[in-house]
Copies of this chain bind each other. A is one copy, B any other.
Amino acid sequence: VAIDLNADLGEGFGIWRLGDDDALMSVVTSANVACGFHAGDPITMQRVCEQAAARGVAIGAQVGYRDLAGFGRRRIDIPADELTADLLYQVGALQACARAAGAAVAYLKPHGALYNTAADDQDQARAIVRAASLAGDLPVLGLPGSALAVAVEAAGLRFVAEGFIDRAYTPNGRLVPRTEPGAVHHDAALALEQARELANGRVTATDGALLAMPVHSLCLHGDTAGAVELASAVRAALEGDGIELGPFATP
């Protein structure tokens, strides 16, 4: 089965840009496109969809809290029904952009604080699932073992697990919290090695043990120094290993 490479794209707003969309688009197989609430503006969404369609990259709805000022990185205690409506709205907007480009939205991925909240908060996790369901039973991309994963599967939708090439894993297979030392692999070689492990369904934990970590997609970053180079190196290494790359979902 093919491994998917996903990254966040279209995360500018108006005159402001973030990351190198063009470079990333040539690396990923799935593009998480920001939908306007925490980042992303309509004309950028349209253009990213056109590029993705031209390259055969799958389009995902990168949905988040209504929080341009905080880039969706601030947890917001929003009632579940309002959250569902906010997310459905975002997905619908992106669906129109995708259709205009001759494509379609293939999945949903929560962004930032919503991603983190949905790892533990069942109400918000279920609100996300309900939006994915109302938007056409979209697959959901996220953290394995999370409340979101449970809620997605309970609803009969498809959950797609992603792995992080630059985050350390605990012996029981969870991400080391960012507040702890060693949580992030700043060394590109280490990240590259972890990418190759994850592409084979494994990861080396902080205690040196090799864990099973069955993920279908690897999350790449594009907005930090050296990120695009690392993403390209990951793609090249996996291709060199003979691993098939491709989107996990086509609409």
Binding site for B on A (CB under 8 A): 12-18, 36, 39, 41-43, 45-46, 66-71, 74-78, 81-82, 85-86, 88-97, 99-100, 113, 134-136
Q: Are B77 and A46 in contact (CB under 8 A)?
A: no
Partner of A13, one of B68, B85, B113: B68
* Selected contact of A96 from candidates B67, B82, B135, CB within 8 Å: B135
A1 to B94, CA, bound (A): 36
Q: A18-B15, A75-B76 are in contact. Are A100 and B43 (CB under 8 A)?
A: no
Partner of A88, one of B39, B97, B136: B97
* A14: contacting residue among B15, B42, B69, CB under 8 A: B69
A14 to B65, CA, bound (A): 14
- A-B contacts besides A46-B85, A67-B76, 5 pairs, CB < 8 Å: A14-B69, A42-B89, A77-B113, A88-B97, A99-B136
Contact B15 A86 (CB under 8 A): no
Q: In the complex the two chains form, what is the Cα distance from A107 to B42 in whole Å?
A: 20
**Closest residue to A100 on the B side, CB-wise?**
B134
How far apart are A19's CB and chain B's nearest CB, in angstroms? Answer: 11
Q: Which 3 A-B pairs have the closest CB atoms?
A: A92-B96, A16-B16, A42-B85
Which residues of chain B are near A96, meaning CB under 8 Å?
88-89, 91-93, 95, 134-135
How many angstroms between the C-alpha atoms of A93 and B94 in the bound complex? 8
| 18 CB-based A-B contacts, threshold 8 Å | A13-B68, A14-B68, A14-B69, A14-B71, A16-B17, A41-B69, A43-B81, A43-B85, A66-B67, A68-B68, A88-B96, A92-B93, A92-B95, A96-B134, A96-B135, A99-B134, A99-B136, A100-B135
A47: nearest chain-B partner, CB-CB = B85
**Candidate in A14, A68, A81 with the most chain B CB atoms within 10 angstroms:** A14
A69 touches B134 (CB 8 A): no
CB distance from A180 to the nearest CB of B (A): 19
Bound Cα distance from A86 to B16, whole angstroms: 17
Taking CB atoms, residues of chain B closer than 8 Å to A82 are 42-43, 70
In the bound complex, residues from chain B placing their C-beta under 8 Å from that of A88 are: 42, 46, 96-97, 100
A230 to B58, CA, bound (A): 43
Please, which residue of chain B has its CB at the minimum distance from the CB of A40? Answer: B89
